[in-house]
Structure 1
Amino acid sequence: MNSCTADDKLMALSLEQLDQLQRKLDLKVAEKKAAIKQASKAPPRSQSDIEKLADLQGLDLSGLMREISKR
């Protein structure tokens, strides 16, 4: 979807629809943050735990390792 299409679709929505969309986005962001926080609480025990943590952070495994080394 290009920006013109997104802009056109958003402009067609009423204020109430835009408000509902904003609430849904806020909820999704909060859920994603909670999932990242939950996954980060305990050290990973398996390869799938590490892959899940990397996926939640939006990183590949090497990106996750660089992020960990920064901390």
Structure 2
Amino acid sequence: MFNAFKYFEEFRETFGEEAALKLIWLASEIYESLSQNVTKTEFNELKKRPLQNYLIQNISHDIAREKL
């Protein structure tokens, strides 16, 4: 988890409030982007099962459509 307030306090002492806010905004954007990425191991595991993943995706979409 990204503790923005902790880092803001540290940045503010060194860079001032305005720069600290910009740094925290940038850091939180980077953190959010990275947290949504898959790891290389996860990606390789997904590549091993393309047919299984395809079927699971399509079946779940079909079930969702039936419930609507």
Query: TM-score surpassing 0.5?
Result: no
Which structure would you say has the larger Rg?
Answer: 2
TM-score calculated relative to the size of structure 2: 0.39
User: Going by fraction, where is helix more abundant, 1 or 2?
Assistant: 2
